[in-house]
Amino acid sequence: MTPPPLFSFANLQFSYPGPKHSRNGCTAIDFSSNEFHIRQGVKTVLLGPSGCGKTTLLQICGLLRQAPLQPGQVVFDSTCDYAVISPQAQLELRRNSFGFILQTFFLLPNFSMVENTAMPLIFQGMEKSRALKHAREFIQKSGLSGSGENDLEHNLDKTSDQLSQGQKQRVAILRALIHDPTVIFADEFTSNLDGNTIEKTFLLIDDWQKKGAQKGQLRSLVLVTHDQAVAARHGDHFVVINESHRLKKQFSRQEFSSREAVNQEIHAAFQTN
Amino acid sequence: MSPGLPNLGVKFCLWFAWRDLTDKRSFHFSLGIFLSLVITFMILILSLAAPESMEMIRKRHLAANPKALSIEFDKGPMSYISQEEKKFLEDSLQAPGLGVRGVFFYGEENFYFPLKDGSKEYRGRIVQEEDLVLQASGIQLDPVEGQPWIALGLSVKKDVLEAWNQGAGEFKVNNPITNMPVALKMAGFFSKDFDSYGDFMISKEAISLLKNQPNPASRWIVSGPLPDDWKTKILPSQLVDYLENKNLRKPSSETRTLKGKEYKCWRLDSQNEKGERLKDWLAHLNAIKIHMDNKYGKSMNDFVSIVDNEKPSAPDTQALSRPPALFLGVLYLKDLDFLSRAIQKVKSLGFRPLNPEAEAQLREIHHSTSYNRTVLIAINIGLILVAACSSFFLEFIRLKQKIAEVGLLKSFGATESSLLGIYLVEALLIFLTGLIFSAGLSALAVVGIRGAYFSWMSLGEVFDSTYFGFLACFGIFNLMVVIGSTLVGSAEARNNCPAHSLGKAE
């Protein structure tokens, strides 16, 4: 049975506002005459060359970027049309339903690892002490803690500037998961992680999805990455965008597993204007 | 659940603000704003408080010190107050409701000693019946017309000014003994510059008479035209030596012109060899005498005669005294509020208030401080504007650096109001710590200044800290600056979408 759509796109087009200077005024996404879905409960991977619009698409979906949309261009969960969504509903979605793993971590400086992790819970309204306690437990049980002196458990009270890039990345991952969102938007979050940690991260995401399933939720990951190996290993649905910001191709997991064919398509996407 | 400030809670905002402010990336900005506020407050407190405080202390001093709050009065130019009048005044002015602490009369006991030949000895000098002897009012002169000198006491400045008939070139005064008016010719230059405390002038005639007619109460002698060689005639070489080489300050001379004639005036400074300041002429003469005695023997006694006791030189002579010739009354008041009433009372009793100026004095103090205050206020306004601009832009830049955090917090679902709340709490924290710190430092400084400088004039009076209420205005101004800069500085990040803020930080 096909899962229901998480995001439905129809003729989505987006240009950065303002005159043509740097990114301003340039087209970022051009899905004209394209209609497609990102499904719930799956791990969708956005692929394409740098600057093709992957991150912009992720930001629009995650309501991090305001886009002047026409009705029906982006619809969340079949009912929530982003063209008419209220500011309050946007806040509610970002606070309760979405989790973000951003490209450059964006940990709050001068806040400890635990505090950074607990921040989404606090903004959900949980009392600070409870949120911190929950965050400590979450880090310990996550499996991302690592081992030895550099593990997260031994550095819970260190501030972000005292952490390594890998530790920061793991905190950013845990922060995105701690409040049990229904969608996680992850933007090239594997670049600072070793293979073992990447595996553990996806185990954690799998676990998060399973827990959602137990609650009757279809939890989804929207992942932007250039790492095709990671994509192939963990992705369920693949969206390829070409340099012209157009939708080049969608692949299923099975199709993507056929590496040669996929490579050709992706290569073509990277080359085609 | 709404993510607004009330639900985040003030406690959370304080926690977040403190962490954010102490972040090393923005700490120097926070410190800059903090120091800017501290310096502004301290400059304001110290510079504005100083003149105002002195004025306030002076007012309190006037109210608390009975000698400061007084009315001098007399009967008129060169008129003396009789003993009957004195008693009448004492009775009248002690009436309830006038707020009088006491009445005091200035005069001098006129001791003189009758000699066997019918003359009198007064202060070591034989005084004939027809001689005019004026006492501590400072006038001592021969009534013979043309007598070319006059010695004036500081306290009769006002009398002399009013009694001086410029056209006739004379003073009209009352003889305190005969109570008859006497016209006194003045051959010398009449100086209005009476208030150079401790200085005096000596004329040729005056210095020659000085040895026989000392008047310790007098501080001024005004000279007439002097010949070029007057110094050598008046001042023996030993005295010149003393003045020019031993005295810590040399005598100075100046020439003044009055009615086409030149008058040479000399000033001697009142300081002895030890550098001690001499309070009056008598002390100065004593210093000269001691010096001359020590260095040149008794010769100085022929020149300067110091009379500090009242003993008859003739044997078997009994001292006689007559009631003192009172020339000045002083009314001490309990409070400044009684001043006007007391002045009216003195006038109604037929006397002349000489210094109804306690209020005028306050006005004068106020006038003198108002200029300084105006300049200080102008400087302070400039400083406030500079500090305000620096605070504003430091806060503005600090918040610009926070743009990524704002984007991140928005991705957590933070509202604009909750973000504004967090950054306003940060601004208030800086403001309040700046205010408290500067107030504490300023209080210490004021206490120190008071101890070192104000105490001599305040006589230990309590420093009124309520005066510093004016700082509230500047506090509010600075508060508006930090809030304004927070609103402006955070506006872009608050209003932009999270991705825009995050993107700007990348």
> CA B73 to CA B346: how far, in whole Å?
8
Q: Flag whether B75 is in a domain.
A: no
- Provide, as residue numbers in chain A, all residues whose Cβ is less than 8 Å from the Cβ of B498: 64-65, 94
Q: Flag whether A25 is in a domain.
A: no
Closest CA of chain A from B444, distance in Å = 34
Show the domain range for A138: 41-64+87-271
Who contacts B227 (Cβ-Cβ below 8 Å, separation ≥6)?
A: B204, B233
Whether A128 sits inside 8 A of B404 (CB atoms) is no
Q: Flag whether A28 is in a domain.
A: no
Structure-block tokens of residue A196: 């073992």
Closest CA of chain B from A102, distance in Å = 9
Burial of B96 (0-12, 13-18, 19+ CB in 10 A): exposed
Strand, coil or helix: B283: helix
Burial of B350 (0-12, 13-18, 19+ CB in 10 A): exposed
Q: Flag whether A154 is in a domain.
A: yes
> CA B143 to CA B136: how far, in whole Å?
17
Q: Flag whether A58 is in a domain.
A: yes
Across the interface, of B20, B409, B502, the residue whose CB is closest to A102 is B502
CATH number of the domain that residue A213 is part of: 3.40.50.300
Whether A103 sits inside 8 A of B506 (CB atoms) is yes
- Provide, as residue numbers in chain B, all residues whose Cβ is less than 8 Å from the Cβ of A160: none
Q: Flag whether A8 is in a domain.
A: no
Q: Specify the pLDDT at position A117.
A: 93
Phi, psi (degrees; rounded to nearest 5) at A249:
-165, 155
Q: Specify the pLDDT at position B347.
A: 87
Q: Specify the pLDDT at position B119.
A: 62
Q: What number is the average pLDDT over the span A257-271?
A: 65
Under the banding of pLDDT at 50, 70 and 90, the label for residue A120 is: very high
Closest CA of chain B from A65, distance in Å = 5
Across the interface, of B3, B23, B410, the residue whose CB is closest to A109 is B23
Q: Flag whether A229 is in a domain.
A: yes
Q: Flag whether B481 is in a domain.
A: yes
ipTM of the complex as predicted: 0.85
Element (H, E) at A122: helix A113-123
Q: How many domains does chain B have?
A: 1
pLDDT tens sequence across B414-435? 888 888 888 888 888 888 887 7
Q: Flag whether B222 is in a domain.
A: no
Q: Flag whether A15 is in a domain.
A: no
CB B319 within 8 A of CB B121: no
- Provide, as residue numbers in chain A, all residues whose Cβ is less than 8 Å from the Cβ of B415: 91
Between strands B125-127 and B120-122, the pairing is antiparallel
- Provide, as residue numbers in chain B, all residues whose Cβ is less than 8 Å from the Cβ of A115: 19
Q: Flag whether B298 is in a domain.
A: no
> CA B424 to CA A53: how far, in whole Å?
36
Strand, coil or helix: B180: coil
Phi, psi (degrees; rounded to nearest 5) at A184:
-115, 130
Closest CA of chain B from A238, distance in Å = 23
Q: Which long-range contacts (CB under 8 A, 24 or more apart) does B156-160 make?
A: B156/B78, B156/B327, B157/B194, B157/B195, B158/B354, B159/B74, B159/B77, B159/B78, B159/B327, B160/B190
Q: What number is the average pLDDT over the span A56-63?
A: 90
Structure-block tokens of residue B474: 């500047």
> CA B282 to CA B212: how far, in whole Å?
14
pLDDT tens sequence across B483-492? 888 888 778 7
- Provide, as residue numbers in chain B, all residues whose Cβ is less than 8 Å from the Cβ of A122: 8, 12
> CA B101 to CA B67: how far, in whole Å?
10
Q: Flag whether B204 is in a domain.
A: no
- Provide, as residue numbers in chain B, all residues whose Cβ is less than 8 Å from the Cβ of A114: none
Higher pLDDT, B504 or B428: B428
Closest CA of chain B from A259, distance in Å = 34
Q: Specify the pLDDT at position A219.
A: 93
Across the interface, of B407, B412, B502, the residue whose CB is closest to A120 is B412
Q: Flag whether B450 is in a domain.
A: yes
Q: Flag whether B409 is in a domain.
A: yes
Asked which of A122-126, B261-265, B393-397 is least confident by mean pLDDT, the reply is B261-265
Q: Is the predicted pLDDT of residue B151 greater than 50, yes or no?
A: no
Element (H, E) at A223: strand A220-224
- Provide, as residue numbers in chain B, all residues whose Cβ is less than 8 Å from the Cβ of A95: 3, 412-413
Across the interface, of B22, B500, B506, the residue whose CB is closest to A104 is B506
Show the domain range for B449: 5-65+362-505
DSSP string, B7-64: HH-HHHHHHHHHHHHT-HHHHHHHHHHHHHHHHHHHHHHHHHHHHHHHHHHHHHHHHH
Whether B415 sits inside 8 A of A96 (CB atoms) is no
Q: Where does residue A140 fall: left (phi above 0), alpha (psi -120 to 50 degrees), or beta otherwise? A: alpha
Residue among B121, B124, B102, B99 nearest B112 (CA): B121
> Which residue, among A113, A122, A183, would best test binding to B if mutated, counting the most B CBs under 10 Å from its CB?
A122
CA atoms within 13 A on the CB side of A188: 13
Across the interface, of B20, B407, B498, the residue whose CB is closest to A110 is B20
Q: Flag whether A148 is in a domain.
A: yes
Shortest CA distance from B24: residue in chain A:
A110
Q: Is the predicted pLDDT of residue A5 greater than 60, yes or no?
A: yes
Q: Flag whether B117 is in a domain.
A: no
